[in-house]
Amino acid sequence: MDSNDQELQVHGVSPEERRAVETLYRAFSENDPDLLDEAVAADWQDIPLAPHQQPGRDGMKPLIREFAGAFQDLRITVHEIIGASGRAAVRAVITGRHTGQWFGIAPTGRAFRIPIHEFHHIAEGKVTRTWHLEDWFGWLSQVGAWPVRPAGYDGEAAR
């Protein structure tokens, strides 16, 4: 089976916890920041914050809109949720096409695929804290922004 087509595996989380986690990712995939109201607590801690991101649920909403502006065909596919009461670990992948500025990189039109790994605390049906790790370095490489080349670089080795 192709890893792109594997079914979601869920272990050790309640239906309510699963719904909160999946709704968080749907907010990005569906470009619907208001889904965060269902998924995360108002004072949700997203760790680490993006460079210009404000704290809390409302601090993430503008970032979701920026995401949608930068990436066409954006999709977050959750492959696995593993948890225990009040905790969930997620293995997922973000796919899309770079069609708007992101990280100061002009649109390249290139498709990308980056893995993400996140750990969530959940209470009363809402995510309260998230620690996340996305492979943005891999993204830079996939869209042709790495390695950085000086202006006028023509591919010749420095002499």
Is 104 within the bounds of a domain?
yes
Whether residue 101 is predicted with pLDDT greater than 70 in this model: the reply is yes
Q: Identify the CATH number of the domain in which residue 35 sits.
A: 3.10.450.50
Q: Which residue has the tokens 């089976």?
A: 1
> Is position 12 within any domain?
yes
User: Does the pLDDT value for residue 11 go beyond 90?
Assistant: yes
Q: What is the pLDDT of residues 52-89, one digit of tens each?
A: 999 999 999 999 999 999 999 999 999 999 999 999 99
Q: Would you state the pLDDT for residue 4?
A: 52
**Residue 69, Cβ density class (10 Å: 0-12 exposed, 13-18 middle, ≥19 buried):** middle
- Give the structural domain span for 70: 8-142
Q: How far apart are CA 133 and CA 64, in angstroms?
A: 17
The whole-number pLDDT of residue 1 equals: 31
Average pLDDT over residues 15-21: 96
Phi, psi of 17 (to 5 degrees): -65, -40
Q: How far apart are CA 10 and CA 22, in angstroms?
A: 11
* pLDDT range class, residue 2, cuts 50, 70, 90: very low
Categorize the per-residue pLDDT at 146 as very low, low, confident or very high, splitting at 50, 70 and 90. Answer: confident
Considering the chain, what is the average pLDDT of its residues?
91
- Among 4-18, 54-68, 117-131, which stretch is predicted with the lowest mean pLDDT? 4-18
Query: How confident is the model over 34-41, as a mean pLDDT?
Result: 98
Mean of the pLDDT values across residues 104-114? 95
Asked if residue 147 belongs to a domain, the reply is no
- Roughly how many angstroms between the first and final C-alpha of the chain, as a whole number? 48
157 found inside a domain: no
Q: Is 50 exceeded by the pLDDT of residue 138?
A: yes
Residue 2 maps to a domain: no
In a domain, 14, yes or no: yes
Residue 159 included in any domain: no
- 3-state DSSP helix/strand/coil percent for the chain, to nearest 5? 30, 40, 35
Percent of the chain with pLDDT over 70: 89
Split into its structural domains, the chain has a count of 1
